[in-house]
Amino acid sequence: MTGEPAPVAPDDRVRFGIIGLGRIGRRLATRLSGDAEAPNLAAVLVRPEQRDTAYALVGAARVCTSIHEFLERHLRVAAECASAASLGAHGPALLAAGIDVIPLSLGAFADEAVEASLLQAARAGPGRMELPAGAMGSLGFLAAAREDGLSRVRFRAAYPVARWRRMGAAARLLDLDRVAEPVVFFKGTVREVLRAFPGHLNVAAGVALAGLGLDHTEAELVADPRLSQATFEVEASAAPGAITLRVGGRDAPVEADPIDYTTFSVIRLLRRRQAFLKV
């Protein structure tokens, strides 16, 4: 007798699904599908042309190519790792079916109509939406501060020049070839940032949704030639005291693909569904 808890029986595990098998979806599947004490990966939703790749990764029995198949898998929770379009299209149906949604493509909220649709569906339930902290690492302080005088939130994203160049939109706002020191080249609301850089700054949306909303959260974008990876900062004012959060990426070449806190934040939320001690 070791005193260690026995593994959770597969039939007792929380059934979850993944929407999209991009970088993060693949990592979730790889890390959790073979773990007997993790929630049970029961379904993966991909486009029909991705079927064979999905078969090789998770097995044919788990692969769905339509939202209708996915909804029939009796899931408790789904991690959306696909796109803003997928979240907007499938989120309401999942929530209405009683499936909780962990969304990553938070840029979908930049569209007021999509935002209203998702929030209305989450209010109606019975499924609920649970926002992961994503690349910011932790948003608990902001969510807690809403209870007592959260009055200002500013989000700042700093990237190396090469990363901004790959996004395209930055070149319309700044001569990237002339950046020799850190420079703030965009100031606005988070909604304005998401519209200017669609698909790239979901972390900003997470900060806004945890705090004051997309239209009342300030945002700054910085090009910094000293950096090799992203750095995110949040400054906020609230009655219990000032909040300052800073998260830096791993030191790696810009063209590399190091795993980051976005993946880990989703894994944490999924593991909490199965955990005896929830933290």
Which helix (H) or strand (E) is 162 found in, with range? helix 161-167
Q: How many CA atoms lie within 13 A of 43 on its CB side?
A: 24
pLDDT bucket at 1, cuts 50 / 70 / 90: very low
**Domains, the chain, with CATH or none:** 10-130+261-272 (3.40.50.720), 140-248 (3.30.360.10)
d(CA 56, CA 224): 40
Taking residues 132-150, what's their average pLDDT?
A: 86
Rg, C-alpha atoms of the chain? 20
The conformation of residue 129, written as its DSSP 8-state character, comes to B
pLDDT of residue 140: 85
Which helix (H) or strand (E) is 88 found in, with range? helix 84-96
Burial-class residue 35 by CB neighbours within 10 Å (0-12, 13-18, 19+).
Answer: middle
pLDDT in tens, 43-99: 999 999 999 999 999 999 999 999 999 999 999 999 999 999 999 999 999 999 999
